[in-house]
Chain A
Amino acid sequence: MRHDHIISAKQLSRADIEAVLDRAAEVAADPESFADRHENALLGLCFFEPSTRTKMSFTAAIKRLGGDVVDMGTVESSSVKKGESLADTVRVVEGYADALVLRHPSEGSAQMASEFVDVPLINAGDGAGQHPTQTLLDLYTIRESAGFDDLTVGIMGDLKYGRTVHSLAHALTNFDADQHFISPESLQLPRSVRYDLHEEGASIREHTELEPVLPELDVLYVTRIQAERFPDESEYRAVAGEYQIDAETLEAARDDLTVMHPLPRVDEIAHEIDDTDYAHYFQQAHNGVPVRMALLDLLLGGDE
């Protein structure tokens, strides 16, 4: 990989993605051999929004590589509360760490922050923008369960504000993948993502219902429809039930369908699915550690 910063899935080529996934597979196969790979390395965690999976998996990843974290803590307990700018915060934390991980509610925040630091900066979610490391673990999960050849992926839920969706859609343009987007009309893909997919010549189709496309899918990637995005709660209630899956829904699916979700889920996937062969979302979350270990290993000079 030849990137100083990981800001957007758009910057990742197929070779970049496969380099990370191959390294992640090595990590998963023999984690002990990576145990002291980056002894004394410090990862700066700048999380301006709540996070469970992303923050904990980055923490686990650097610790399993022999390093540790320096954590800004919550916004309430940091200098941000005193009015410090993001640009200043990352410039300060850069002095304490070998790489930075940034989660921020504003779109473009990771791009801007990266312009102020020299150590690698990883975008761990910028508002409704991008979440490239989630995409890497999503792709790892897809490769493990369905492979990358002649792939048909359905992405369902909040496509407008879902940063994991935006990053995954960009990344899938590197592969032989047909993409089906299923959402209420009010939550369809944003103009910028459509523009990029069009420019890349991606094979995409958009739907308001899952039913017609479900039997074609190798992968169904479900995201939460966020009630807070709707101006009127009744509008939310009108569509939310249409985008929930249960055992009955999946009767029309292929037996080898892979169901994924970036989590947290609320009620998009019924718990009765959890113990079926369809369910890959908890494994998907677990894959965050080896994938982020692999990414950190490459960014911190694992080949040197």
Chain B
Amino acid sequence: MSDRELRVSKIRNGTVVDHITAGQALNVLAILGIDADSGETVSVGMRVPSDRLGSKDIVKVEGRELSQDEVDVLSLIAPAATINIVREFDVVEKHRVERPEEVVGVLSCPNRHCITTEDEPVQSRFDVLDDGIRCTYCDTIVRDSIAEQIDVA
């Protein structure tokens, strides 16, 4: 992240998700449950130049630190992302996302015949594959459209 970018949208407390796969910023917002009505202060940079990725997206969320569940899902659509926790304008933690072995409760299964899509007391659960995710219940494999399965409450 360059000084110039930081000056544009520096946050006081919150999270900067950097090195997001170009074009995925809006999906990151969806994972975080952020939309026009959520009332949070958010800065979004899309397709900004990056030494490491060529181009990248950046999302900066004021006043919020991400949960591990959120980071886990984020890793599926932005495997190179870095999470920067900011307190009083300083980055106090910085780490890369890691792909989890499974993701529970945050994605919905695209198979409309899957038991997890019915009114049953069960959370969705996906095993994370090298190139996608797989529903633990019905075995459906999702590769190209993981972001579309984000279960935004």
Q: Which residues of A approach B to under 8 Å, CB–CB?
A: 85-87, 104-109, 111-112, 115, 126-129, 190-193, 195
Q: Are B141 and A195 in contact (CB under 8 A)?
A: yes
Taking chain B's interface residues, is the majority helix, strand, or loop, or is none over half, making it mixed?
loop
For B, the interface residue count at a CB cutoff of 8 angstroms equals: 19
Stretch at the interface among B6-14, B52-60, B130-138: B130-138
Q: List 23 A-B contacts (CB under 8 A).
A: A86-B120, A87-B120, A87-B121, A105-B113, A106-B113, A106-B114, A106-B115, A106-B118, A107-B114, A107-B137, A108-B135, A108-B139, A111-B137, A112-B115, A112-B120, A112-B122, A127-B113, A127-B138, A129-B138, A129-B139, A192-B140, A192-B141, A193-B139
B128 nearest CB across to chain A (Å): 14
Tell me whether B149 is interfacial, beta carbon within 8 Å: no
Taking chain A's interface residues, is the majority helix, strand, or loop, or is none over half, making it mixed?
mixed
Query: Other CB < 8 Å A-B pairs besides A107-B138, A190-B139, 8 of them?
Result: A85-B119, A107-B115, A108-B138, A112-B115, A129-B139, A192-B134, A192-B139, A195-B129
Q: How many A-B residue pairs have CB under 8 A?
A: 59
B118 nearest CB across to chain A (Å): 6
Q: Are A115 and B122 in contact (CB under 8 A)?
A: yes
B85 nearest CB across to chain A (Å): 35
Tell me whether B43 is interfacial, beta carbon within 8 Å: no
Q: Are A107 and B141 in contact (CB under 8 A)?
A: no
Chain B residues, CB < 8 A from A190: 139
Tell me whether B21 is interfacial, beta carbon within 8 Å: no
Residue of B nearest to A193 (CB): B139
Chain B residues, CB < 8 A from A129: 138-139
Q: Are B120 and A107 in contact (CB under 8 A)?
A: no
Q: Are A85 and B120 in contact (CB under 8 A)?
A: yes
Q: Are A111 and B136 in contact (CB under 8 A)?
A: yes
Q: Which of B119, B129, B137 contacts A108 (CB 8 A)?
A: B137
A93 nearest CB across to chain B (Å): 16
Would you give the 0/1 interface string for B78-117, flagging 1 where the beta carbon is closer than 8 Å to chain A?
A: 0000000000000000000000000000000001011110
B136 nearest CB across to chain A (Å): 7
Chain B residues, CB < 8 A from A191: 140-141
Chain A residues, CB < 8 A from B138: 106-108, 127, 129
Give A126 to B129 CA distance when docked, in angstroms: 23
Give A109 to B115 CA distance when docked, in angstroms: 5
Give A192 to B111 CA distance when docked, in angstroms: 12
Chain A residues, CB < 8 A from B129: 195
Among A104, A107, A111, A128, chain B packs the most CB atoms within 10 A around the CB of A107
Residue of B nearest to A199 (CB): B129
Chain B residues, CB < 8 A from A106: 113-115, 118, 138
Residue of B nearest to A10 (CB): B139
Give A117 to B28 CA distance when docked, in angstroms: 37
Among A104, A106, A191, A192, chain B packs the most CB atoms within 10 A around the CB of A106
A254 nearest CB across to chain B (Å): 34
Among B115, B119, B129, B140, chain A packs the most CB atoms within 10 A around the CB of B115
Give A86 to B111 CA distance when docked, in angstroms: 18
Closest 6 CB pairs of A and B: A108-B137, A107-B138, A108-B138, A192-B139, A106-B115, A108-B115
Would you give the 0/1 interface string for B137-150, flagging 1 where the beta carbon is closer than 8 Å to chain A?
A: 11111000000000
